[in-house]
Structure 1
Amino acid sequence: MNTLNIKLKPVTAEDLDAVVTLDRICFGRLWSLETYQRELDSPYCDLLGLFSTLSSEKLLAMGCFWSILEEAHVTILAVNPQYHHQGLGQAILYFLLKSAYDRGLERATLEVRVSNSPAISLYQKFGFKRAGKRPNYYQDNGEDALILWLSGMQQPQFQTTLAQWYTMICDRLSFFQE
């Protein structure tokens, strides 16, 4: 049953309060309102959100990447904890990678806390491989970050992979609206 009425859309200035709220819930204020505004203003940034008109929390998940040369550097992937384990992380990651593919980017990279097993599992499910470690990367506790890479995004088989991921997302979120 459609209980969330989920819709993907680019984040706009009108959504920034919801973005900052989700950032606070998920990351404890990783970025400020001004930082997110700079992301919106940059032609090298894609900031996407999964929104619901039927939930008390309008913004359920968000993701962001920077386009740097041929690379998508995923900077944010957040799902409201109330909606964990419902496929929203898969959906937002898929749409980030699809957007990067559409931009003609060759690779994607990101950093993730070594202790964040659910996120690491999600990224590996989408083909990311470990490329290294950044010692003491996170300022809040000095935790190390794993560097993960996904390559071959402009290879012919990647379009097939995107189609398979899309089917997986739609099967999981049968009420999803694009």
Structure 2
Amino acid sequence: MKLLDLKIQSLTVEHLSELLELDKACFDGWWTMEGYLRELESPNSHFLGLFSPFSSSGLLGMGCFWSILEEAHITILAVHPQYHRQGLGQALLYSVLKTAGDRGLERATLEVRASNQGAISLYQKFGFKTAGRRPHYYKDNDEDALILWLSDLQQPNFLKNLDDWHSIISDRLQQSSWSLIINNS
């Protein structure tokens, strides 16, 4: 079986139109062009993209976090709906957490819709715990957000977990005919 390359790399302003297309497919236009531009240009924002040369959409997924003191605040993690349930979300989350750890950050946090069981399950696989709830956080439907938290990004057990996750994710991607290449330049 021939594996299709998946590449994770930092996003730049040149990827703006692809980001907007992916946002429309995933969130029906949740973020604006100005919002993405602000994230791409911010020195505290780290934006990763998941690409495949074998896809007509090019950008298959995106993950972004802010560096705030010792914390990585994950602001977005999304995979094109056409590519769900193939391990791409795991690959993106792994890359976001590895990048945060490589930058010396000690913790990661995020908000997720209380009804988004798929995302919650993914985050829990990586060790995130529920730290609280933000009532009526999402303005489109007044839904609550769960606050998820992961600590100890600089501890030896987390670094070992990262190595283990890389193997697990690579195996999972191969089952869906993908091969992961990480390029954080």
Q: Say whether the fold is shared (TM-score over 0.5).
A: yes
Q: TM-score range by the shorter chain?
A: over 0.9
Structure number with greater CO (CA < 8 Å, separation at least 6) is: 2
Q: Give 1:122's aligned residue.
A: 122
Alignment of 1:98-109 (within 5 A): 98-109=98-109
Q: Aligned partners of 2:81, 2:2: CA distance in 1, in Å?
A: 19
Query: What is the percent sequence identity of the aligned residues?
Result: 62
Q: Aligned partners of 1:3, 1:60: CA distance in 2, in Å?
A: 16
Contact 1:11 1:49 in 2 (8 A): yes
Q: Aligned partners of 2:60, 2:2: CA distance in 1, in Å?
A: 15
Q: Deviations over 1:110-138 (max 9, x none)?
A: 00001000000000000000001000000
Q: Aligned partners of 1:5, 1:158: CA distance in 2, in Å?
A: 27
Q: Which has the higher strand share?
A: 2
Q: Which amino acid aligns with 1:125?
A: K
Structure 1 unpaired stretches of 5+: none
Structure 2 unpaired stretches of 5+: none
Q: Aligned partners of 1:42, 1:5: CA distance in 2, in Å?
A: 29
> TM-score, normalised on structure 2?
0.93
Runs of 4+ in 1 over 4 A off after TM superposition: none
Q: Give 2:25's aligned residue.
A: 25
Q: Give 2:16's aligned residue.
A: 16
State the superposition RMSD in angstroms.
1.1
Q: Give 1:65's aligned residue.
A: 65
- The farther-off stretch of 43-52 and 166-175 is 166-175
Q: CA deviation at 1:20?
A: 0.8
> TM-score, normalised on structure 1?
0.96
Q: Aligned partners of 1:62, 1:50: CA distance in 2, in Å?
A: 6
Q: Give 2:83's aligned residue.
A: 83
